[in-house]
Amino acid sequence: MAGLPPLYAHRFGRDKGPDSSRRALRRTLAGAVDGLETDVCLTSDDELALIHDPWLTLGTTAKGWAHETPWEPTLRDCFLRDRHGVKTAQTPMLLQELWDAVPNGMPLQLEVKSHGDPELAARSAEAICDALQARPERHGVEVISFHGIACEVAAARGEDARLVVWSDIPARALLDWAIHHGVGGVCVEPQILHPRLVDDLRSGGLSVTSGTINELELARRVASLGVDAITSDRPGVLRAADVAEHAEVLAG
């Protein structure tokens, strides 16, 4: 029985607190976790807010679009909603807060968010690269996005980049694009992953990770394909369940 690959906490581990919140981050880092993932939205005053959705009503008590809303005082003083839409006492974080909170070298995926606006995705990626290159001592950070242009911008700036894919796009086309732009990896939604796709992408030199999985059997199916990491809302719970089942098998 193969073990699970590294497990990354989706939105800092959304079972631990509202998405990308200080509480979720603190609780996740206190347990077993191999890496972190969070969304990043550019504000109207060019701050990088860790908010899941650029349409603010979906995840916060603020209204409107993140890129049309200033961090100070509007977003700084709003409150995050939990996964059921209930207001919490948690307020949003800025990207710069992470540097002292996350161990240097721990994998950290920063997902560029932009709703139907490639130009905004590109500007957001540029801002993230500026923030990263202001802290050259940081290691293990990767820019990810559903927007190809955001990955292209990050790769061109010398940062690690990964395209999030929710389509069974032909592997050859994806490889050609990635090689041309220097993008080193893809994150594929688990419903689409199959052995030939993973083999084709990895043989072309790409790192392959999986989108969010919270069930052990589904995680094991994807792990058997040879992916490099799995994203989960509850990485600690998933790892503990895997270890416990392994122990039962060995004992039995």
Evaluate whether 150 touches 112 at the Cβ level (below 8 Å). Answer: yes
What mean pLDDT is predicted for residues 109-131?
97
**The pLDDT value given to residue 1:** 45
**The pLDDT value given to residue 3:** 86
pLDDT by residue (tens digit) across 198-244?
A: 999 999 999 999 999 999 999 999 999 999 999 999 999 999 999 99
CA–CA dist 77, 79 (Å, integer): 7
CA–CA dist 140, 163 (Å, integer): 16
Name the percent of the chain lying above pLDDT 90. 91
Our count of domains for the chain comes to 1
**Per-residue pLDDT for 152 more than 80?**
yes
pLDDT by residue (tens digit) across 64-83?
A: 999 999 999 999 999 999 99
Among 9-13, 36-40, 134-138, whose mean pLDDT is lowest?
134-138
- Global confidence as pTM: 0.95
Closest CA to 149 of 137, 139, 166, 161: 161
pLDDT by residue (tens digit) across 16-33?
A: 999 999 999 999 999 999
Evaluate whether 54 touches 65 at the Cβ level (below 8 Å). Answer: yes
Please report whether residue 79 resides in a domain.
Answer: no
Please report whether residue 197 resides in a domain.
Answer: yes
Q: Please report, for the domain that includes residue 239, its CATH number.
A: 3.20.20.190
**Per-residue pLDDT for 252 more than 70?**
no
Evaluate whether 95 touches 113 at the Cβ level (below 8 Å). Answer: no
Evaluate whether 191 touches 213 at the Cβ level (below 8 Å). Answer: no
Task: Write down the residue that tokens 């992470």 correspond to.
Answer: 98
In sequence order, the 6+-apart residues with CB closer than 8 A to the CB of 246 are 1, 3
Please report whether residue 114 resides in a domain.
Answer: yes
Question: How high is the mean pLDDT of the chain?
Answer: 95
pLDDT band of residue 193 (cuts 50, 70, 90) is: very high
Please report whether residue 117 resides in a domain.
Answer: yes
Evaluate whether 78 touches 53 at the Cβ level (below 8 Å). Answer: no
240 lies in which domain range? 7-38+101-251
Please report whether residue 69 resides in a domain.
Answer: no
Q: Taking the chain, what is the end-to-end CA distance rounded to the nearest angstrom?
A: 14
Evaluate whether 248 touches 219 at the Cβ level (below 8 Å). Answer: no
Helix, coil or strand: residue 147: coil
**Per-residue pLDDT for 2 more than 80?**
no
3-class SS letters over 157-223: CCCEEEEEECCCCCHHHHHHHHHHHCCCEEEECCCCCCHHHHHHHHHCCCEEEEEECCCHHHHHHHH
CA–CA dist 99, 25 (Å, integer): 12
- The number of angstroms, rounded, from the C-alpha of 231 to the middle of its chain's C-alpha atoms is 8
pLDDT by residue (tens digit) across 163-192?
A: 999 988 899 999 999 999 999 999 999 999
